[in-house]
A and B are shown apart, each in its own frame.
Chain A
Amino acid sequence: MSTYARQTGSTVTLPASLDEAVAALAAMPTAVPVAGGTDLMAAVNSGLLRPAGLVGLGRISEIRGWQYADGHALLGAGLTHARMGRPDFAALIPALAAAARAAGPPQIRNAGTLGGNIASAAPTGDALPVLAALEANVILAGPDGSREVPVSHLLTGMDPLRPGELLAFVRAPLLHAPQVFLKATARTGPGRATASVALVLDPARRGVRCAVGAVAPMPLRPLEAERWVAGLIDWDGARTLDPQVCTAFGEYVAMACIPDPVDDPVNPVDPTGPAGGALPPAVAHLRRTVAALARRALGRALS
């Protein structure tokens, strides 16, 4: 007797449209949707996940491209990082294209998708800070129709994905202004971000929006620093800032994202020492990194 057959008994469906996919998921609520599979299949292979069934999203052509809708781009969740990294897409949403190009080795970028990056919601997901800075929305298709949720609500768990729902589209604003995505990694080759910063200018709303990735479970928005620096920019003029302002902005962002542990009852460096105290060296370095990235990002966006 072999136990071989029993274990391959899980079902795989390959719907050709979004409606079919939603129906397939409704028919088998324990099935897991899979697009590029770069995170999911690694978990399956290492035995961490044993899905009862899979709904493959690779054949749904409607979510593999993008379209325009009233000043926004409607990005299919099945867009691969490789596709987003190309120049035509970069002209549309430059920061997202930069994040897609930085998202790993070519094999991963060819398979991994925008929707997968959001669904995995890894702290180091490169697209996430960009979507947070863009204040993009996700469109979720479910058995009761579709609904639109800000990406930050999804990532923070304020409004999570409901059973039977599929991540279908991302609605991102077209800002027609400079955008920057910067990522610090431990090596020169592709690697996970130790910290990343996405910064976009929104001239219509006279805003600067910035999100810091990889330092917390979800991207962080330093709202006060954004408002402060937006108020200093001459939006109708040259849109330049003194380098010292950029430096101050960087430090403002870094302090907001990695605050001093003043309320910490235990000293993180020396548990027997006084409460609060200095940051551990690695965290202090992370704060310096965020400050440098934010300063460089603002400088590049305004240059």
Chain B
Amino acid sequence: MTAARGGREAAAGPDAVTALPTVAAPLGTGETERGLGVCVLPADAAAKTQGIFPYAADLWAEGLLWAAVLRSPHPHARIVSIDTTHAADMPGVRAVITHADVPGDAMHGRRVADRPVFAHDVVRHHGEPIAAVAADHPDTARLAAAAIIVEYEVLEPVTDPEKAFAAPPLHPDGNLIRHIPLRFGDPAATGEVVVEGVYRIGRQDPAPVGAEAGLAVPRPDGGVELYVASTDPHTDRDLAAACFGLETDRVKVVVTGVPGAMADREDPGFQLPLGLLALKTGHPVKLVATREESFLGHAHRHPALLRYRHHADAEGRLVKVEAQLLLDAGAYADASSDALAAAVAFAAGPYVVPHVFVEGWAVRTNNPPSGHVRGEGAMQVCAAYEGQMDKLAAKLGLDPAELRMRNVMATGDLLPTGQTVTCPAPVGELLKAVRDAELPPLPSADDETEWLLPGGLEGAGEPGAVRRGVGYALGMVHMLGAEGHDEVSTATVRVQNGTATVICSAVETGQGFATLARQIVQEVLGVDEVAVLPADTDQPPAGPSARGRHTWVSGGAVERAAKMVRTQLLQPLAAKFGMSVELLTIADGKITSYDGVLSTTVAETLHGKELWATAQCRPHPTEKLDENGQGDAFVGLAFAAIRAVVDVDIELGTIRVVDMAVAQDVGRVLNPRQVAARIEAGVTQGVGMALTEDLRTARGVVKRPSLTGYALPTALDAPRVRIVKLVEERDVVAPFGAKAVSAAPVVVSPAAVAAAVRAATGRPVGRLPIRPQTAVARQV
């Protein structure tokens, strides 16, 4: 990690801040560190590790009622009647609500309002909410929900996305959610070598360990406050207010502790019944999802069927990529349009390809809904185009790393969308770093105790049947919302009595924004004590916590606000000494002038003053992909290269990922420990996608929605993650030059694991997660 630090001073961006600490502290001594580029500890680290950090499930209000939601057992059915009388008559039940009790808009949705709060005529997926109950005990609420009599006319579910095109419409909006054709270059171009492949990607679930929970408290003015683990409080508030039939100022969303966040925190089907019940009963209402509800309720990663044809010349240079991408959006649109745009735009990967022709579709089915999960769209195609690169390398007899090296993209190259890659794109450097990294040693034959075999400590693994494989993958992902989304964030910085406060509704989901905000203010103002206030909708909007937005836009807004406060702080001093503000520096809590004549402390200067500033950060606008899939749709791109080393028991098909060597393009390291933690988390999620995480369905019905049935990686499954290189080439348009780090490892690691399993078994591996039967060596 230290190898890449050299470029920091050389490549100062326009927003370059004052002096940087020259030596980063070793990991583990974060307490006294402050400012950017060092390992500042998160303020809530101790509480989280001790288990005393309050999450939404820990909330309590005097006299609260408990809610339960009735969900559909069928993936597709017509609702003939709903009879709530038995449930409403049960002792302890205070309210039973259905679609008839929604006072405002019946439909909602983040992009397209196509989703009912409660299903009323048709049920479109297993687990769709139909009614909700508030009662004085959670068991009473569940029993009452179960006592609601719903008469269904079961309909044939459409579960194969390929059949969705011809199937009768499942929704008034039709079954085709979006179609993007991409035409780039000459359709007649052909290469000397052609490889084809079909790739299938399973349904990964966010599977949060902290399941959904929330509390709704009615207000005396007829409004309601929602205490939920929201990641986009303002959008959630607007959705809720529309459904409740209230003005937006009557609804307040207060963000509680968020135990990690992806699509699982974006399920309005959870927040809306909660608020409606509180409004109806006039009591606080709490809802804590069971594990099963959690799996059924929130959105998942888009399952995908990807068909590819790659053309290359005899030297292995790519000539043309043709692809058909089909994403299963599930029952409702949600973020499918965004996922499809990413899938189509990155369909060829971080490679120079002169001719690219892609047809992408996102279609509606009766499968569980798909939505935002880190690296949506980009992850699915990465597994496919990297599979194609392996195939091409095998056909040409080239080393897979060498073939990739001949095709890597660099700054100035074109994406197939016609957009020029203006940000740093050190793809070749990343690949070289992982290729040259030392391989983990092979276990010695006589030392079995040291060797954790596939299958685990007490498993059936036999050293003689284990083969080791090494595989490479490169990938890319965009940062911030694409295609014209207004990616704006607002932050306020206040300084009083030597303490700074950051007020910004950017939600700390574990991604480290609160720590980063503290670091920025420490850096700019030289103040040690910085508090980041909890987020709620009384603050100005900051947008969703996704796609690495907050490092960029909210971090940028905090920096601007802090700089405005700095000017207010230094202006009187500068005027007094007859010099401009630029000649004063703040470091270690001291203000000094360029010539050393003036030297005072920040605390002294601040004495008796209260300084406020609010600023916004809005990156340059983007445009929607046109009818040929062309357009400058993305603000920024991040790249990663991963080399996976796996051990496969080729008789049982059990796989253990031994080592993941990661090289990533991070722009600039703002907090080394946090960067390392985010990469490790991303790689682990990617390993889960590659090996075990698949929410299986049978004709639209979710099978085994539990953490026993849905196998997350455990500590024994998580590989050793080695960060071999962090390339710090500043992205000049990004605040601090930093790129978001969380998504790229999730995008690339499944493809890397698949490549390594290919190398170990000689099997094609076209399906993720990799099933054991496809990882056994072919029978002779």
Contact A187 B776 (CB under 8 A): no
Contact of B456 among A1, A4, A189 (CB under 8 A): A189
Q: Is B652 an interface position by the 8 A CB rule?
A: yes
Q: Report the nearest A residue to B146, measured CB to CB.
A: A47
Complex Cα distance, B452 from A189, in Å, reads: 10
Report B127 CB to chain A, min CB distance, Å.
15
Report B774 CB to chain A, min CB distance, Å.
8
Contact of B137 among A3, A188, A289, A296 (CB under 8 A): A3
B292-305: contact bitstring with A at CB < 8 Å (1 yes, 0 no)?
10000000000000
Contact A2 B136 (CB under 8 A): yes
Contact B454 A188 (CB under 8 A): yes
Residues A78-122 near B (CB distance < 8 A): 98, 101-102, 105
Complex Cα distance, B773 from A281, in Å, reads: 7
Contact A188 B459 (CB under 8 A): yes
Q: Report the nearest A residue to B688, measured CB to CB.
A: A187
Interface size range of chain A in the complex = 20 to 34
A187-215: contact bitstring with B at CB < 8 Å (1 yes, 0 no)?
11111101001000000000000000000
Contact of B140 among A3, A46, A105, A288 (CB under 8 A): A3
Contact of B459 among A1, A46, A185 (CB under 8 A): A185
Residue numbers in A under 8 Å from B717 (CB-CB): 187-189
Complex Cα distance, B777 from A285, in Å, reads: 12
- Known: A184-B460, A190-B714. Contact between A1 and B92, CB under 8 A? yes
Contact A46 B292 (CB under 8 A): yes
Contact B458 A102 (CB under 8 A): yes
Residue numbers in B under 8 Å from A285 (CB-CB): 653, 771-773, 776
Contact B459 A183 (CB under 8 A): yes
Q: Report the nearest B residue to A300, measured CB to CB.
A: B462
Q: Is B237 an interface position by the 8 A CB rule?
A: no
Residue numbers in A under 8 Å from B439 (CB-CB): none
Report B89 CB to chain A, min CB distance, Å.
13
- Known: A7-B137, A46-B292, A188-B656. Contact between A183 and B458, CB under 8 A? yes
Residue numbers in A under 8 Å from B654 (CB-CB): 184-186, 188
Contact B458 A98 (CB under 8 A): yes
Contact B458 A289 (CB under 8 A): no
Report B292 CB to chain A, min CB distance, Å.
7
Q: Is A284 an interface position by the 8 A CB rule?
A: yes
Residue numbers in B under 8 Å from A3 (CB-CB): 91-92, 135-137, 139-140
- Known: A7-B140, A102-B459, A182-B460. Contact between A46 and B290, CB under 8 A? yes
Q: Is A158 an interface position by the 8 A CB rule?
A: no
Complex Cα distance, B139 from A3, in Å, reads: 9
Contact A188 B456 (CB under 8 A): yes
Q: Chain B CB within 10 Å — which of A2, A3, A101, A190 has the most?
A: A3
Report B507 CB to chain A, min CB distance, Å.
30
Q: Report the nearest A residue to B650, measured CB to CB.
A: A292
Complex Cα distance, B140 from A98, in Å, reads: 43
Residue numbers in B under 8 Å from A105 (CB-CB): 714
Residue numbers in A under 8 Å from B652 (CB-CB): 184, 289, 292-293
Q: Is B428 an interface position by the 8 A CB rule?
A: no
Residue numbers in B under 8 Å from A27 (CB-CB): none
Residue numbers in A under 8 Å from B291 (CB-CB): 46
Contact A4 B136 (CB under 8 A): yes
Q: Is B711 an interface position by the 8 A CB rule?
A: yes
Contact of A192 among B142, B708, B713 (CB under 8 A): B708
Report A257 CB to chain B, min CB distance, Å.
16
Contact A188 B653 (CB under 8 A): no
Q: Report the nearest B residue to A194, measured CB to CB.
A: B772
Residue numbers in A under 8 Å from B455 (CB-CB): 183-185, 188
Contact B460 A296 (CB under 8 A): yes
Q: Report the nearest B residue to A191, measured CB to CB.
A: B711
Residue numbers in B under 8 Å from A289 (CB-CB): 651-653, 772
- Known: A47-B142, A184-B455, A285-B653. Contact between A189 and B136, CB under 8 A? no
Contact B713 A189 (CB under 8 A): yes
Residues A1-41 near B (CB distance < 8 A): 1-4, 7
Contact of B651 among A98, A101, A281, A288 (CB under 8 A): A288
Q: Chain B CB within 10 Å — which of A197, A293, A296 has the most?
A: A296
Q: Is A282 an interface position by the 8 A CB rule?
A: yes
Q: Is B715 an interface position by the 8 A CB rule?
A: yes
A256-298: contact bitstring with B at CB < 8 Å (1 yes, 0 no)?
0000000000000000000000000110110011001100100
Q: Report the nearest B residue to A181, measured CB to CB.
A: B458
Contact B452 A183 (CB under 8 A): no
Complex Cα distance, B140 from A185, in Å, reads: 38
Q: Is B716 an interface position by the 8 A CB rule?
A: yes
Q: Chain B CB within 10 Å — which of A101, A194, A289 has the most?
A: A289
Residue numbers in A under 8 Å from B336 (CB-CB): none
Complex Cα distance, B457 from A190, in Å, reads: 9
B433-471: contact bitstring with A at CB < 8 Å (1 yes, 0 no)?
000000000000000000010111111101001000000
Residues A136-168 near B (CB distance < 8 A): none
Residue numbers in A under 8 Å from B140 (CB-CB): 3, 7
Contact B91 A189 (CB under 8 A): no
Residue numbers in B under 8 Å from A186 (CB-CB): 654, 692, 711, 772
Contact A184 B459 (CB under 8 A): yes
Contact B459 A2 (CB under 8 A): no
Residues B365-382 near A (CB distance < 8 A): none
Report B2 CB to chain A, min CB distance, Å.
31
Residue numbers in A under 8 Å from B452 (CB-CB): 188
Complex Cα distance, B654 from A34, in Å, reads: 35
Q: Is B691 an interface position by the 8 A CB rule?
A: yes
Q: Chain B CB within 10 Å — which of A47, A101, A187, A191 has the most?
A: A187
Residues B700-740 near A (CB distance < 8 A): 708, 711, 713-717
Residue numbers in B under 8 Å from A189 (CB-CB): 456, 713-717
Complex Cα distance, B462 from A197, in Å, reads: 14
Q: Chain B CB within 10 Å — which of A98, A197, A293 has the most?
A: A293
B650-687: contact bitstring with A at CB < 8 Å (1 yes, 0 no)?
01111010000000000000000000000000000000
Report A181 CB to chain B, min CB distance, Å.
8
Contact A2 B708 (CB under 8 A): no
Report A221 CB to chain B, min CB distance, Å.
19
Report A268 CB to chain B, min CB distance, Å.
15
Contact A2 B713 (CB under 8 A): no
Contact A190 B137 (CB under 8 A): no
Residue numbers in A under 8 Å from B91 (CB-CB): 1, 3
Report B462 CB to chain A, min CB distance, Å.
5
Complex Cα distance, B455 from A66, in Å, reads: 31
Report A52 CB to chain B, min CB distance, Å.
14
Residue numbers in B under 8 Å from A292 (CB-CB): 460, 465, 651-652
Complex Cα distance, B458 from A7, in Å, reads: 42
Q: Chain B CB within 10 Å — which of A102, A186, A284 has the most?
A: A186
Residue numbers in A under 8 Å from B715 (CB-CB): 189
Q: Report the nearest A residue to B454, measured CB to CB.
A: A188
Residues B622-661 near A (CB distance < 8 A): 651-654, 656
Report A293 CB to chain B, min CB distance, Å.
5
Q: Report the nearest B residue to A282, measured CB to CB.
A: B773
Contact of A47 among B139, B462, B772 (CB under 8 A): B139
Contact A2 B456 (CB under 8 A): no
Complex Cα distance, B462 from A289, in Å, reads: 13
Complex Cα distance, B774 from A281, in Å, reads: 9
Complex Cα distance, B653 from A284, in Å, reads: 13
Known contacts A186-B654, A187-B692, A188-B716, then 20 further A-B pairs from the complex at CB < 8 Å, ordered by chain A residue: A1-B92, A2-B92, A3-B91, A3-B136, A4-B136, A47-B142, A183-B458, A183-B459, A183-B460, A184-B455, A186-B692, A187-B717, A189-B713, A190-B714, A191-B711, A285-B653, A285-B776, A292-B460, A292-B465, A293-B460
Listed A/B pairs (27) with beta-carbon separation below 8 Å: A3-B91, A3-B140, A7-B137, A7-B140, A46-B290, A46-B291, A47-B290, A101-B458, A102-B459, A184-B654, A185-B455, A185-B654, A186-B772, A187-B714, A188-B456, A188-B459, A189-B716, A190-B716, A191-B711, A194-B772, A197-B460, A282-B771, A284-B773, A285-B772, A285-B773, A288-B651, A293-B460
3 A-B pairs with the lowest CB-CB distances in the bound complex, closest first: A189-B714, A3-B92, A285-B773
